[in-house]
Structure 1
Amino acid sequence: MEVEALSHEPDVRVLVVDDQEPYRRAMQAVVDATNGFTVVGTAASGEDSIEVARELRPQLVLMDVNLPGIDGIEATRRILADGEGPVVVLLSTYDRDDVDLDGSGASEYVPKGAFGPDRLIEAWASAHRDG
């Protein structure tokens, strides 16, 4: 009888941040459908994302750019300020050229329409190659 070895690596812990519930659910569904990733929490504002990230210590944050209060770019700066933060991937419905990501510390920008399991895996792998 042949037994397949199971990976004992824990899933990548993901925080999903978006002010619109349908997008939060869609991003969560992508994470849930991707082997090796699990959602540990969600947030609906930039301020909440900072608190939740400190509390839950995710390894990856999927951050909407346009949020009420402080936007996703400023929230990303604050989450990454101590240098020990997670990988942050910014998402938006805007084109990449319409979003000023300079200085945010985000590892990547992905248009929401292009976000799926392949892009999630690619963004995570890319952040670890570059970092």
Structure 2
Amino acid sequence: MSIRVLLVDDHALVRTGIRHILDESTGIEVLAEASSGEDAVDMARSEKPDVVLMDVNMPGIGGMEATRKIAAVAPETKVIVVSVHASDPYPSRLMEAGAQGYLTKDCSGDEIVTAVRRVHAGERYLAAEIARKLADSLLSGGKDTPLDQLSQRELQVMLMIIQGHSVQSISDKLFLSPKTVSTYRHRLFQKLDVENDVGLARFAIRHGLLEEGPMDADEPGKA
């Protein structure tokens, strides 16, 4: 029986490339595609794929929250993250959220296929670069950075803020009250020693969480 895979990425070209790789592989079937975290969760709940290949930076709730939700609504489904981000906090936080694998987008087609097969078989799979960085961090006692202070939810809210989402938008997508989101936002300002959303974006750029450019999901910095 084929391994049924859900592809999740907001770039159609990326999905097409991965689909081509998987379609050429014996025993793997691309079940469906999704372009947002919300669609990924809905499809995981209804279609129960064996494996999800999950992007991180997408419109809406994004890959981290989608991974956490899939682990809750479809616990038999295995999530492999495929991201441009090779450095923490992404790998460790996504594994904490429920991912069983983590690849970078410069990996080979053969490695994607290997990861799908091994994760489906019940193993964890980390790209060599990710495994090395996580091992280095563990052996050195972990990096003492401001990001280490953030809870999983605070990091999720931060990622949505730096993508340009307003407090109301985050409230709607994460099913939190606007007051709760505002509390998280001000907590972030205090913990990371920034004054506003622009300062938060600059912090994110310095720490490799965001590529330099405008925030445009809603309106920049709008609460």
Fold match (TM-score > 0.5): yes
Match of 1:70 among 61, 74, 89: 61
Q: For residue 56 of structure 1, what is the amino acid of its counterpart?
A: E
Q: 1:49, 1:75 within 8 Å by CA — same for their partners in 2?
A: yes
Q: What do the CA deviations read for 1:3-56 (whole angstroms, capped 9, x no partner)?
A: xxxxxxx11000000001111111111111221101010000000111111121
Match of 1:13 in 2: 4
Mapped to 1, the partners of 2:112 and 2:59 lie a distance apart of 26
List runs of 5+ in structure 2 lacking aligned partners.
Answer: 125-223
Question: What is the root-mean-square deviation of aligned Cα atoms in Å?
Answer: 1.9
Quote the offset at 1:112 in angstroms.
1.1
Match of 1:5 in 2: none
- Structure 2 length as normaliser, TM-score? 0.50
Quote the offset at 1:129 in angstroms.
4.3
Aligned pairs for 1:35-114 (under 5 A) are 35-82=26-73, 84-97=75-88, 99=90, 100-114=93-107
- Structure 1 length as normaliser, TM-score? 0.82
The answer as to 2:109 corresponding to 1:116 is: yes
Q: For residue 101 of structure 1, what is the amino acid of its counterpart?
A: L
Identity %: 35
More strand by share: 1
Aligned CA distance change for structure 1 residues 114 and 79 (closer, same or farther; 3 Å)? same
Larger C-alpha radius of gyration, 1 or 2? 2
Mapped to 1, the partners of 2:120 and 2:72 lie a distance apart of 17
Quote the offset at 1:127 in angstroms.
5.3
Aligned CA distance change for structure 1 residues 109 and 44 (closer, same or farther; 3 Å)? same
More helix by share: 2
Q: What do the CA deviations read for 1:80-105 (whole angstroms, capped 9, x no partner)?
A: 11463311000111224352324211
DSSP 3-state at the match of 1:72: helix
The aligned length equals 122
